[in-house]
Structure 1
Amino acid sequence: MNFFERAYEILEPILPRKFDENEWFTIFITILVLSVFTYLHKRYNTLLTTEIIAILLFNLLYTTVGDYFLAMEPYDLYDTVDHDSGELMDILLQTIVYPFTLLILMNYYAEKSLNNLLYIMFGAGLLLGLEWVGTEFFNLFTYKKWKLWYSLIFYIPVMISNIFFYNKFHGYIKSQIRGN
C-alpha cells in the first residue's frame, strides 16, 4: 500500500460522502467570514490580538462542547453536513466559521456603543438566519429531534456569554495596561 492509499484509508471516515452544495457552502462561508474579519481588523483594528485569541478560543470551546453534547449520543438531535459525526467540513464550521462569526459580532460590539439587549437579539437573530440559510438552501444540518427555533434559545445565551466575556476580558486587559 503506497502513501496516498494509506492516507485515503485514514481520512476516508471524515471525507464527505459526496461533494455537493453543503461542502461548497461551507467553503464559501469560510472564505466570506475570514475575508470580512480581515477587512474589519485592518480597517478598524478595534480588538487587541489578545482579545481576538481569547474570543476565538472561547467560541471554539463553545461550539465544540455544544455540538458534542447536542449532536452526539445520547441526544443526537441533528447531523452536520454528510455524516452523523465528525467530517472534514465540520472542522471548518467549528474552528473557523462559528468562532469567526462571533468574533465579527464582538468586533462590531467593541467598535460601537450599543444597547446590550438589542445587540443580543440582533446577534442571535443573525446566527439563526445564517443557520436557516445553511439548512434550508444548502442542507448543512439535518435536524432529527431539533427544531430551528431551539437554536434561538441556544444563540441568546451565546450572545450574552460573549458580551459578558468580552466586557470582563477587555476590562482586565485595560487594567493591566494601566497598571504597567
Structure 2
Amino acid sequence: METILILSFNFFLASVVDRILAGDVLNFYNIMDDPKFEVMDLFIYMFVYPFFVYLVLYIYSFINHDNIVFFLLLTVMVTMGFEMLSVKLNVFQYKKWNIMYSGIAYTILYSLNVFFLKYVKVVIAKIKFRN
C-alpha cells in the first residue's frame, strides 16, 4: 500500500510539475526532443522519477534521522548530477532554466516526499489499529 501511494504521488508530482514548468506558458525547458507530450514522457513519469524517489525514501528509512539535512542535500546533489548528465545527453534542453533552480526544486520535492512518507505511515498505522 505504501509503495503504491509513493509511486502514484510521484507520478502525479512529476507530471504536474513538468507540465507547469515545461508547458507552453512558462516553457523553461523541453523534455526529450519535443516540447509536446510523447510516449517517452509517460515512461519517465511512470518509472524513472517515481522509482528513483522510492529508492531515496527506502534508503531514508534506514538512516539515522538526525542526519536528515545531510541526507537530503546529498540526495539533491546526486540528482542534480543525473540531471546534468541528462542535459548532456539531450534528455532535457534548458531554455530559461539552470541547474541551480533544479537544486531548489529537488530540495522542495524530496522534503515533500519525506513528509508524505511520514503521513502515509501514520495513516496506515491508524487503519491497522482500527482493524
TM-score, normalised by the number of residues in structure 1: 0.68
Larger Cα-atom Rg: 1
Name the structure 2 match of 1:129. 81
Instruction: Please tell me the residue identity of whatever aligns with 2:126.
Output: S
Name the structure 1 match of 2:20. 69
Quote how far apart the aligned CAs of 1:123 are.
1.9
Quote how far apart the aligned CAs of 1:95 are.
1.1
Structure 1, unpaired ranges of 5+: 1-49
Quote how far apart the aligned CAs of 1:96 are.
0.6
Q: What is the percent sequence identity of the aligned residues?
A: 29
Instruction: Please tell me the residue identity of whatever aligns with 1:135.
Output: V
Alpha-carbon distance in structure 2 between the residues aligned to 1:99 and 1:130: 15
What secondary structure is seen at the aligned counterpart in 1 of 2:37? coil
Q: How well do the aligned residues superpose, as a CA RMSD in angstroms?
A: 1.2
Equivalent in 56, 59, 65 of residue 10 of structure 2: 59
Name the structure 2 match of 1:170. 121
Name the structure 1 match of 2:90. 139
Alpha-carbon distance in structure 2 between the residues aligned to 1:53 and 1:132: 29
Q: Contact conserved, 1:80 with 1:142, CA < 8 A, in 2? A: yes
Q: Contact conserved, 1:71 with 1:85, CA < 8 A, in 2? A: no
Quote how far apart the aligned CAs of 1:158 are.
0.4
Name the structure 2 match of 1:101. 52
Q: Deviations over 1:81-131 (max 9, x none)?
A: 111121222111111100110011011112333322122212211221111
Instruction: Please tell me the residue identity of whatever aligns with 2:49.
Output: Y
- Find out whether 1:155 has 2:97 as its counterpart: no
Equivalent in 57, 60, 63 of residue 112 of structure 1: 63
Considering Cα pairs closer than 8 Å and 6+ residues apart, tell me whether 1 or 2 has the greater RCO.
Answer: 2
Structure 2, unpaired ranges of 5+: none
Which has the higher mean CA deviation after the structures are superposed, 120-129 or 143-152? 120-129
Q: Contact conserved, 1:80 with 1:140, CA < 8 A, in 2? A: yes
Instruction: Please tell me the residue identity of whatever aligns with 2:22.
Output: A
TM-score, normalised by the number of residues in structure 2: 0.92
Question: What is the aligned length?
Answer: 130
Equivalent in 25, 36, 40 of residue 85 of structure 1: 36
